[in-house]
Structure 1
Amino acid sequence: MDRIEATYYVETPYPLADAAAVMAGEQSSGTFVAIPGETEALKMQYAARVERMEELETVAASSLSGEQLHFEKYHRGKVTISWSLANFGANLPVLCSTLMGNLYELRQFTGIKLIDIQLPDSYTTHFRGPKFGIEGTAKLISSQAKTPLVGTIIKPSVGLTIEDTADLVRRLAEAGIDFIKDDELMGSTLNSPFADRVHAIMEVLKNHQDKTGKKVMYAFNISDEMDNMLRNYDTIVNAGGSCAMVSLYSVGLTAVKRIADIGQLTIHGHRNGWGMLNRHPLLGVTFSAYQKLWRLAGVDQLHVNGIRNKFWESDESVVKSIKACLAPMEGIRPALPVLSSGQWGGQAIDTFKLTQATDYLYLAGGGIMAHPGGISGGVTGIKQAWEAAVAGLSLEEAMQKYPAVKQAVEKFGGAKS
């Protein structure tokens, strides 16, 4: 029978094999004592199995608080556990409860982190995944649109009037932007009610489309209670929009899948809150596992941070996240990686060197708005920096060839910014 496998990085003061057996029992048919009804035949079909173990380092102090006992050493290792597909069905919440549920509470562990999930083809076939993905996103903008798509975020995130927001959208569209998004903090405010903002922005973008043939994509943040999310979704559709943004952690897996299943808008998945799930090396979930769940739910565009970003994440981690979004899943499209967080044209060259890919939505806030050449110079500078990257130019060579890139380097401080 096909099985789902999950690999964990764990820390425990007990022998690794004993601790792993507790994990498998807790997350399937077992409890802390033998009980009537838990037959060998039942366990053979439905109990989780420890498939592999790899002993790693031993440390003298625990990573997280555990039992109120003193241990001289704590064992770290990788543990792979599998479950029968019969335990889940096509039920993402139950899958998540199994992979990331009570096992994090087990007293036998002073650290557990989900590293990756292996999903058999017979499981992924139950899900449509991203309806639009990379190519679909580009085609919604223009038949000529190619990645990387260049985008930005409306700032200030809260406080702009509808009129000011619409005017900024107009200026961005005229500058050649491909994509604009609400900030994740922007919902429906007293001075900018959601429906009114959508209609004002889409009027600007429709006028721009009539003139140029290009339909700039705007990701409206519909994150809210479920009924309001559905209402907000319909507002975008009726206004002629093409994209809805959801804060993944805030609204949850089921709400995201419900929205994505409608299939009329591309879904921009904002991962705010992910650092809480990942930042500690021995607690939470890696992006490799995380993105698989959201792709199954149908997210088309997924934030991955960016090279030399303004947050804590290393370039190595960002590159792994990018590659994870683009990695094949049977029957499931890749998600379009969204690069953001302190990006400007200068990171484009290193991003291409590290990944050899251009299938990105490349978001820059200050990198566009604060460019010495204005909004137009900011958009042009980023697009030219990507042209230079693909052509194999260094940042210095790009500066010599493109004035907008040179201005950006002078403003934002070069490769070390």
Structure 2
Amino acid sequence: MSAAMPPDRLRARYLVETPLDPAAVAEVMAGEQSSGTFVRVEGETDALRERARARVESIAELAPAQAPSLPNAWLQRKAQGGPWRRAQIEISFPVDNIGANLPTLAATVAGNLYDLGEVTGLRLESLQLPASYRRRFELPRAGIAGTRRATGVARGALVGTIIKPNVGLSAEDTAALVGRLCEAGVDFIKDDEVSADPAHAPLAQRVPAVMAVVRAHRERTGRQVMVAFNISDEADAMRRHADLVEREGGSCVMASLNWCGFSAVQTLRRHTPLALHGHRNGFGALSRHPMLGISFQAYQALWRLAGVDHMHVHGLQGKFAQADEEVVASARDCLAPLAEGVDDRVMPAFSSGQWAGTVPATWAAVGSDDLLFMAGGGILAHPDGAAAGVASIRQAWAAVRAGMTLEAHAREATELARALSFFGRN
């Protein structure tokens, strides 16, 4: 769709629920988020509206709801009842209203829309940008190709894990665990989102301790393990932490996107050449209700404009609430360019309850191994140890790439056979 878009407008698609005429509500939405309010005001000329007003591009009415999804005092005051009509509404916005300003872009396509009195449900479903506008924002510094170069993994999924326990380990204990994980053969190790700069393992101690182990492993084996240090903090602190990681020879930092915010992540992206691992913790608060918030397509589009290199999508058959279909769609969104002619694809990070047995579903759904496949228990709880856990996952990926079932490949792959026997009972 971006190829056919005019260069001066971007488009957002919404799912809306309302007891009113959806066409009238769409006009309210367009006016509220561009040139107008509920009445025409001084200075709001026809010429200004023609230049700056958002436009309703399409309305597709859907089956109505039996009851309102969300409470609404405005409608109650008006004694407005149902039926509760639902529609997909597409609105285009002039890019000149916004400029290359990510917080204002988010405020424009979302913002006050969620508070409109006319709606009992509203969800931003997708965001589509003209290529010229997309190029005004940050691009990934590493992305898929750069992540592969940094880890030396030219093909196949990158096998990763998460440092557990996620809190309580000292800097020295963390480094020792990283050493064991490096020896086990992982490509990628990340901090947990709740462990950033704790008193028992401050980054000033943890980064040098961990990177000394990573460098020693590289000197022995030639393999460069990527470690995503969680540097989530205020902007100046994140820049200092990123500088430390870079001085120590690291290749990746991680930020909790929702809590750091667009401006801080953009500041970090512009400051450091390191790969930026985007953790979406908190996304469920924005997305789990089907008639409220933001879909992953629009969410990841905004964060990719901030220049992240990796995006979490959760995992298939995992421990979280998302349906597998949503996880698959999220990964495909990450692997699709935001605009025609711009290679800004980012690497989806699968995690939560992943092990060798979830590889076939992942491969079948995504059709690519340009991804981070992160397993905690699937590696560390393998009955024959972490190295066998890593081997079992690599064997599972080899099987699906060759068109084999895991059971067939397990006849000649001991670690995979043990994983299927052990985890398959759980």
Q: Which amino acid aligns with 2:348?
A: P
CA distance, structure 2, for counterparts of residue 319 and residue 359 of structure 1: 13
**What's the CA shift for 1:253?**
1.0
Tell me, yes or no, if structure 1 residue 83 matches structure 2 residue 89: no
The answer on whether the counterparts of 2:64 and 2:86 sit within 8 Å (CA) in structure 1 is yes
100, 114, 118: which is aligned to 1:108? 118
29-38 or 396-405: bigger deviation: 396-405
The answer on whether the counterparts of 2:235 and 2:268 sit within 8 Å (CA) in structure 1 is no
Tell me, yes or no, if structure 1 residue 56 matches structure 2 residue 67: no
Aligned to 1:187: 196
CA distance, structure 1, for counterparts of residue 242 and residue 258 of structure 2: 18
The answer on whether the counterparts of 1:223 and 1:247 sit within 8 Å (CA) in structure 2 is yes
The answer on whether the counterparts of 1:149 and 1:361 sit within 8 Å (CA) in structure 2 is yes
The secondary structure found in structure 1 opposite 2:47 is helix
Aligned to 1:365: 376
Q: Which amino acid aligns with 2:189?
A: I
Aligned to 1:220: 229
115, 122, 134: which is aligned to 2:144? 134
**Mapping for residues 61-72 of structure 1, pairs under 5 Å:** 61-66=67-72, 67-68=75-76, 69-72=79-82
Tell me, yes or no, if structure 1 residue 119 matches structure 2 residue 129: yes
**What's the CA shift for 1:332?**
4.1
CA distance, structure 1, for counterparts of residue 66 and residue 226 of structure 2: 53
Aligned to 1:158: 167
CA distance, structure 2, for counterparts of residue 15 and residue 398 of structure 1: 58
CA distance, structure 1, for counterparts of residue 331 and residue 86 of structure 2: 27
The answer on whether the counterparts of 2:253 and 2:275 sit within 8 Å (CA) in structure 1 is yes
The answer on whether the counterparts of 1:124 and 1:332 sit within 8 Å (CA) in structure 2 is no
Aligned to 2:158: 149
CA distance, structure 2, for counterparts of residue 364 and residue 13 of structure 1: 46
CA distance, structure 1, for counterparts of residue 49 and residue 142 of structure 2: 41
Tell me, yes or no, if structure 1 residue 349 matches structure 2 residue 360: yes
Tell me, yes or no, if structure 1 residue 393 matches structure 2 residue 398: no
**TM-score scaled by structure 2?**
0.95
**How far does the alpha carbon of each residue in 1:74-96 deviate from its partner, in whole angstroms, 9 at most, with x for none?**
10010001111110111111100
277-286 or 120-129: bigger deviation: 120-129
183, 186, 211: which is aligned to 1:174? 183
Aligned to 2:3: none
The answer on whether the counterparts of 2:239 and 2:272 sit within 8 Å (CA) in structure 1 is no
**Mapping for residues 213-362 of structure 1, pairs under 5 Å:** 213-330=222-339, 331-362=342-373
Q: Which runs of 5+ in 1 are unaligned?
A: none
394, 409, 416: which is aligned to 1:383? 394
The answer on whether the counterparts of 1:128 and 1:332 sit within 8 Å (CA) in structure 2 is no
Q: Which amino acid aligns with 2:24?
A: D
**Mapping for residues 33-44 of structure 1, pairs under 5 Å:** 33-44=39-50
CA distance, structure 2, for counterparts of residue 376 and residue 118 of structure 1: 43
CA distance, structure 1, for counterparts of residue 21 and residue 80 of structure 2: 15
CA distance, structure 1, for counterparts of residue 91 and residue 70 of structure 2: 22
Q: Which runs of 5+ in 2 are unaligned?
A: 1-6
Q: Which amino acid aligns with 1:120?
A: P
Q: Report the number of matched residues.
A: 414
**What's the CA shift for 1:303?**
0.4
**TM-score scaled by structure 1?**
0.97
The answer on whether the counterparts of 1:309 and 1:341 sit within 8 Å (CA) in structure 2 is yes
**How far does the alpha carbon of each residue in 1:55-113 deviate from its partner, in whole angstroms, 9 at most, with x for none?**
11112310011122351311001000111111011111110000110010001000000
The answer on whether the counterparts of 2:128 and 2:338 sit within 8 Å (CA) in structure 1 is no
CA distance, structure 2, for counterparts of residue 89 and residue 70 of structure 1: 39
99, 102, 124: which is aligned to 2:109? 99
The answer on whether the counterparts of 1:114 and 1:289 sit within 8 Å (CA) in structure 2 is yes
The secondary structure found in structure 1 opposite 2:44 is coil
**How far does the alpha carbon of each residue in 1:348-373 deviate from its partner, in whole angstroms, 9 at most, with x for none?**
11111122111111000011110011
Sequence identity percentage: 49
**What's the CA shift for 1:147?**
3.2
66-75 or 223-232: bigger deviation: 66-75
